[in-house]
C-alpha cells in the first residue's frame, strides 16, 4: 500500500474534450439567458400562474445536490470513517461548485438580475428567502474553509473535524431553509407542510451522493485513476439508505395530506389525475429514483458490482430531478382554492389546472448551470490537488 498522494488532473485529450463540451453548454446557456434578458420572461414558458419553472427546478436540484455532495467529507472527518478520507476534498469542492451552478441559474432567472446587490444589502429578516441568501453565502465561506484546512499541510485532525462539523451542521440548516421555502407557503395546499424540510434533507443526501459518485467515477475513468469496487459498493449501500429515506418521507408527506380533506384535491392531482406530474411522480421519482436503485444496490450478487452503484446513482439523479419538478411545477399547476365550495372561473385561470410547457431556452439555461458546476469542479481538480492518484481498495485502507 502506498501513501495517498493527491495530484492535479492532467490536461489530457479526454479532459480537454469534456471541457470543450462543457464550454458549448455554458455558451448555449449564456445565449439563452441573453435572449430571455432582452425580450423578458414572455419568451419562456413561465406565466402568471406557473411563476417558477424549469430554471428553478434546475437551480433547486443543484442547490439540494450541493449540500448533499458534502456527505462524503462529513462521513470522513465528522464521523471518522477512514476509507472516505481520500475523497473528502473532492466532496467539498463539488459542493461549492454545485451551489455556484445552482445560484447562477437562480439569480439569472430573476426578473431584475441587475438588482442582485439589493438582495445582498436589503434583508427582510422575516423572509426565509432572505435567510437562504445568508445560508448560501455562509456555505461558501464554511465549506471553503473546510476545503482549506483539509488541504493544509500538517493541519491537526481536531481542527479539520471541528470545521467539518460546522460545515455539516451548516448544510443541514441550509437544506432546512431550502425545504422551508416551500414548507412555509401557507397559501398552497401542495406545500404548507413542515415535512418539506426533512424531505429536502433526505433528497439532498441521496441526490448529492449520487452526483458525487457520477463525478468521481467519470473523473477516475477519464484520468486513468483506479477506484476500488469495495469503496463504490459502500457508497452504493449508503445511496440505498438515502433513497429509502426519501421514499419514507415522501410516503409520510402524501399519507398526511390524504388524511386532511382540504388537501385531498392536490393529492388526487399528483397521485392519480395529474398527467405529466403523476407520471413523473410514479415512474420518475418512485420507480426510477427509488425502487430500482434500491434493488440494484442491495441485490445479493449484482449489488456488489461497481456498475450497480453507478447506474443507481444515475437513476437517483433522474428521480430527484423528477421529484423537484413535481414539487415546484406540479404544486403550482394545481389551482388555488380561493372560494371553497364553489366552482370558479375567470380570465385569470381561476379554477383550472395551470399549464406550463418549458421553452427550450429555459432547458438550455438550466443545463448551463449543470455544466458550470461540472466545469468549476474540473477546473478545481486541474489546479488543486483534489483527487488521489489511486483509490483502489487496497490503497485507501480500512477503518
Partner 1 sequence: MKLPALGAENGAEMNRRKFMKNAAAVATVALAPGITLTAFGGAADAQASPDSRWGLLIDVSKCSSDCDACVTACSKENGWKDKGNPLTDAQWIRKVDLVDNETGREISAPVMCQHCDDAPCVDVCPTTASFKRADGIVLVDKHACIGCRYCMMACPYKARSFIHEEVADEDRKSWAPRGRGTVESCTLCVHRVDKGETPACAVACGETGNGAILFGDLMDPESEIAKRLAEYPSVALRDDLGLNPGVRYQNL
Regarding 353 and contact with partner 1 (CB under 8 A), the answer is no
* Among residues 11, 13, 20, 112, the one that binds partner 1 under rule CB under 8 A: 112
- Of the ranges 22-30, 38-46, 135-143, 270-278, which one interacts with partner 1 (CB under 8 A)? 38-46
Q: Residue written as cell 429509502?
A: 244
Determine contact, residues 230/304, Cβ cutoff 8 Å. no
Q: Which residues contact 187 (CB under 8 A, 6 or more apart)?
A: 336
* Among residues 5, 16, 24, 51, the one that binds partner 1 under rule CB under 8 A: 51
Question: What value, to the nearest 5°, has the Cα angle with vertex 234 and ends 172 and 159?
Answer: 45
Site for partner 1 in 225-284 (CB under 8 A): none
Distance CA 281, CA 319 (A): 8
- Of the ranges 181-189, 303-311, 319-327, 384-392, which one interacts with partner 1 (CB under 8 A)? 181-189
Closer by beta carbon to partner 1, 123 or else 140: 123
Distance CA 74, CA 169 (A): 10
Q: Helix crossing, 196-222 with 306-325: angle to 10°?
A: 140
* Among residues 21, 27, 115, 352, the one that binds partner 1 under rule CB under 8 A: 115
Number of residues that this document lists for the chain: 399
> 13: how many CB neighbours lie within 10 A of its CB?
9
C-alpha closest to that of 367 among 17, 47, 109, 105: 105
SS3 10: coil
Q: Which residues contact 343 (CB under 8 A, 6 or more apart)?
A: 351
* Among residues 260, 345, 383, 397, the one that binds partner 1 under rule CB under 8 A: 345
Regarding 48 and contact with partner 1 (CB under 8 A), the answer is yes
Regarding 346 and contact with partner 1 (CB under 8 A), the answer is yes
Distance CA 160, CA 225 (A): 26
* Residue 125 CB, nearest approach to partner 1 (Å): 6
Regarding 338 and contact with partner 1 (CB under 8 A), the answer is yes
Closer by beta carbon to partner 1, 21 or else 187: 187
Q: Residue written as cell 423572509?
A: 127
* Residue 74 CB, nearest approach to partner 1 (Å): 29
SS3 7: strand
Closer by beta carbon to partner 1, 132 or else 219: 132
* Among residues 223, 256, 349, 392, the one that binds partner 1 under rule CB under 8 A: 349
* Residue 278 CB, nearest approach to partner 1 (Å): 22
Closer by beta carbon to partner 1, 45 or else 240: 45
Q: Which residues contact 223 (CB under 8 A, 6 or more apart)?
A: 9, 10, 12, 15, 387
Regarding 35 and contact with partner 1 (CB under 8 A), the answer is no
* Residue 111 CB, nearest approach to partner 1 (Å): 2
* Among residues 126, 158, 301, 399, the one that binds partner 1 under rule CB under 8 A: 126
Interface positions with partner 1 (CB under 8 A) = 39-42, 46-49, 51-52, 110-113, 115-116, 118-119, 122-130, 133, 181, 184-188, 332, 336, 338-339, 341-350, 355
Amino acid at each position: 500500500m502506498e501513501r495517498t498522494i493527491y495530484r492535479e488532473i492532467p490536461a489530457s485529450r479526454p479532459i480537454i474534450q469534456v471541457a470543450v463540451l462543457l464550454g458549448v453548454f455554458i455558451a448555449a446557456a449564456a445565449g439563452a439567458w441573453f435572449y430571455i434578458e432582452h425580450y423578458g420572461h414572455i419568451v419562456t414558458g413561465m406565466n402568471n400562474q406557473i411563476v417558477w419553472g424549469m430554471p428553478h427546478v434546475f437551480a433547486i436540484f443543484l442547490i439540494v445536490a450541493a449540500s448533499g455532495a458534502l456527505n462524503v467529507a462529513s462521513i470522513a472527518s465528522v464521523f471518522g470513517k477512514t476509507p472516505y478520507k481520500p475523497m473528502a476534498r473532492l466532496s467539498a469542492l463539488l459542493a461549492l461548485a454545485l451551489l455556484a451552478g445552482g445560484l447562477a441559474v437562480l439569480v439569472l432567472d430573476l426578473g431584475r438580475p441587475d438588482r442582485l446587490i439589493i438582495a445582498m444589502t436589503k434583508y427582510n429578516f422575516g423572509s426565509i428567502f432572505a435567510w437562504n441568501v445568508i445560508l448560501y453565502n455562509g456555505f461558501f465561506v464554511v465549506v471553503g474553509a473546510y476545503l482549506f484546512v483539509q488541504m493544509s499541510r500538517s493541519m491537526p485532525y481536531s481542527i479539520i473535524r471541528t470545521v467539518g462539523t460546522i460545515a455539516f451542521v451548516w448544510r443541514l440548516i441550509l437544506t432546512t431553509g431550502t425545504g422551508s421555502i416551500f414548507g412555509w407557503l401557507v397559501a398552497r395546499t401542495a406545500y404548507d407542510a413542515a415535512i418539506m424540510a426533512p424531505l429536502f434533507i433526505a433528497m439532498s443526501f441521496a441526490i448529492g451522493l449520487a452526483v458525487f459518485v457520477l463525478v468521481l467515477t467519470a473523473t477516475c475513468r477519464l484520468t486513468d485513476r483506479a477506484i476500488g469496487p469495495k469503496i463504490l459498493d459502500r457508497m452504493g449501500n449508503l445511496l440505498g439508505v438515502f433513497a429509502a429515506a426519501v421514499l419514507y418521507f415522501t410516503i409520510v408527506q402524501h399519507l398526511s395530506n390524504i388524511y386532511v380533506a382540504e388537501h385531498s384535491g392536490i393529492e388526487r392531482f399528483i397521485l392519480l389525475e395529474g398527467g405529466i406530474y403523476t407520471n413523473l411522480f410514479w415512474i420518475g421519482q418512485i420507480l426510477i429514483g427509488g425502487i430500482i436503485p434500491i434493488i440494484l444496490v442491495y441485490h445479493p450478487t449484482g449489488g456488489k458490482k461497481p456498475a450497480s452503484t453507478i447506474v443507481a446513482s444515475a437513476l437517483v439523479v433522474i428521480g430527484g430531478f423528477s421529484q423537484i419538478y413535481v414539487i415546484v411545477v406540479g404544486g403550482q399547476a394545481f389551482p388555488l382554492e380561493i372560494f371553497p365550495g364553489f366552482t370558479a372561473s375567470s380570465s385569470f385561470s381561476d379554477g383550472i389546472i395551470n399549464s406550463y410547457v418549458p421553452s427550450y431556452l429555459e432547458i438550455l439555461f438550466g443545463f448551463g448551470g449543470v455544466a458550470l458546476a461540472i466545469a468549476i469542479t474540473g477546473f478545481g481538480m486541474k489546479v488543486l490537488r483534489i483527487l488521489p492518484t489511486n483509490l483502489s481498495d487496497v490503497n485507501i485502507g480500512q477503518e
